Chain A
Amino acid sequence: MSNEPVFCQRFEISGKDFINAGKASTTIKAILREIGIQPAVIRRAAIACYEAEMNVVLYARKAIIELRVTPQEIRIRVEDEGDGIPDVGLAMQPGYSTASDEIREMGFGAGMGLPNIKNNADTLQIHSVVGRGTTLEMAIGL
């Protein structure tokens, strides 16, 4: 087990950077294709990763996305610096959103991001400290 190969790459993303929003997810998708992951699995990883990336762009200052791929699983960890989520249970509820009118006009704020991540990942852990930031870790088995 110890010599099982692990691919790891990190991406830095910034809050409010709507020009580059989604690029990390696109690059991650391309890497997964090169490794030969099944299209259906890539699709799930893409949706989950994109929603997490957009939440950083909308609600946090900056984040590091870390992608890890082993022959067993894809693991994506999004660690942001930002205001944090006061009530994670509430945030996870479909339809719950604190998005401003401006954000809603851009087409976000349906409150479906976190529930979508949960539906598409096999496991999801969220750890958030108000005033510090949020860490989201999801895994999809291969």
Chain B
Amino acid sequence: MDGYFHSVRIAPERCTGSMACLKVCPTEAIRVRRGKAAILEDRCIDCGECARVCPRNAIVPQTSSFTDFARFQYTIALISPVLYGQLRKEVMPRTIVAALRKIGFDEACDVACASEAVSTAVDEYLASYRGPLPLLSPFCPTIVRLIQARYPDLIDLLIPIDSPMEIAARDIRQKKMKELGLRREEIGVIYLTPCPAKMVAIKYPPRKKKSHIDGAIAISDIYHPLLAATSDMSGDACKDGQSVTGSGLGWPVLGGQVLSLRAERSLAVGGLDDVERILEEIENGKLGDIQYVECHACPQGCCGGSLTVDNPYVTRGKMLSLLARFGGTPCQDRETVRELYHRNYFSLPGKISSRPLAPLDQDIAKAIEKRKRVQEICRVLPQINCGACGAPTCLSFAEDVVLDQAPLQDCVVLMARQAPSEAGSGKDHAA
């Protein structure tokens, strides 16, 4: 509506109107009209579920490509730790860092260490917080969008702490500007992302004007170059590289944030359905005894993001084994991080705006009238949610009719029932 950037785009020439996307969209943001899917922009929360199920790959994630970064003198790959769990053979994180340099980045920088620091910041925040509970993790951009659209009254529960990718990007850029004497705009920091939602968070960070990151490349796009680059580098080939350690290695796994926190009463929830269930409970005034809820749109956490390549369970297993081996060695001194926290190094002062779904009408009396018409139309609809009309449910179709987005005749079941019965008269079903 407002020209908002979205994580996915439908390529109409590839779309065959198969309706797989229609049914999985959690916010009912897709309609199939004249045989092609279209996204209702103001409803989309960038979860990427549609792209996962599309049999024709007609839903294209809006990430960057390598050529977008030619304008930079110096490029830095920012590594989501998910990447460490993507290669089937045993390759140590620091070898992956080295391989990325081989691919053509000038530098590669790990985010797991920033995740560890952010965990400490969250601990500090929880320790001094006295407001309503539970607080919610703000690190999955899809969940933030879901809350903005559907649970605007819960916005203030999102912890105002910046995400690990932003913290890591700011740190490495500053370091390199000093080291190399380059200006801000000469350095490109590029996130290797497990999902398209992070790209939206980079283009439109919810609490601040501008991200510290310049673009994002899908893990699925870097995967094959990386495989090639590591083909002659197995195991711990890069002994001189900086090792990647600390509890941040567990962050991509569902429950990894909770594990790295000291808070005793917390829980982790993955998958939009289950997250919605938890948010409903919170809206109903429940779960006030929990301090922190880690929420991921993806059921397995980021290791199952829609732009990852390997099986999410295999990735999860690898991440857990990395965590067991290297998670116990902190990568930063906790006291230093605490001091930084108290100097507001991690905090995000801005407010997250709500983006509630548009009501049926801005005028409440008219909205009530329209909702009554929706109800009346629903009574005549077959209530089988077949999707043939191009809307995901009979209820959403009724809303479309009331809002003049679709004619009632689009319900083929209703039309068939209302049609004079000469169609059936020729055949004798009784036999």
Q: Which A residues form the contact surface with B (CB < 8 A)?
A: 4-7, 9, 22, 25-26, 29, 31, 33-37, 39-40, 42-43, 46-47, 50-51, 69-71, 107, 116, 142
Partner of A33, one of B356, B369, B374, B375: B356
In the complex, 28 of the A-B residue pairs with CB atoms within 8 angstroms, ordered by the A residue number, are A5-B368, A5-B369, A22-B280, A26-B280, A29-B280, A31-B371, A33-B150, A33-B356, A33-B357, A34-B360, A34-B374, A34-B399, A35-B359, A35-B360, A36-B360, A36-B367, A39-B152, A39-B356, A40-B153, A42-B153, A43-B153, A46-B283, A46-B284, A47-B284, A51-B284, A51-B285, A116-B285, A142-B364
B352 → chain A closest CB, angstroms: 13
B243 at the interface (CB under 8 A from A): no
Does B385 sit at the interface, judged by CB under 8 A? Answer: no
A71 to B354, CA, bound (A): 23
Question: Would you call B365 an interface residue if the criterion is a C-beta within 8 Å of the partner chain's C-beta atoms?
Answer: yes
Which B residues are CB-close (under 8 A) to A35? 359-360, 364, 367-368, 371
Complex Cα–Cα for A50 and B361 (A): 26
* Distance of B42 from chain A, by nearest CB (Å): 14
Chain B residues in 8 Å Cβ range of A9: 375
Residues of A within 8 A of B284 (CB): 22, 25, 46-47, 50-51
Please give me the residue from chain A that is nearest to B284 by CB atom: A50
Q: Is B421 an interface residue (CB 8 A)?
A: no
Q: Check if B418 is an interface residue, CB within 8 A of chain A.
A: no
Size category, B interface:
20 to 34
Interface pairs A-B: 10 shortest CB-CB: A36-B359, A50-B284, A39-B153, A5-B368, A47-B285, A39-B152, A43-B153, A35-B367, A71-B365, A7-B368
Question: Besides the contacts A26-B280, A35-B367, A71-B368, what 7 more A-B pairs have beta carbons closer than 8 Å?
Answer: A7-B375, A31-B371, A35-B371, A36-B364, A42-B153, A46-B283, A51-B284
Check if B372 is an interface residue, CB within 8 A of chain A.
yes
Q: A5 and B365 in contact (CB under 8 A), knowing A36-B359, A36-B360, A50-B284?
A: yes
Interface residues of B in 382-407 (CB under 8 A from A): 399
Query: Are A34 and B367 in contact, with the CB atoms below 8 A?
Result: yes
Least CB distance from A36 to B in Å reads 3
CA distance A5 to B361 in the complex (A): 14
How far apart are A20's CB and chain B's nearest CB, in angstroms?
A: 13
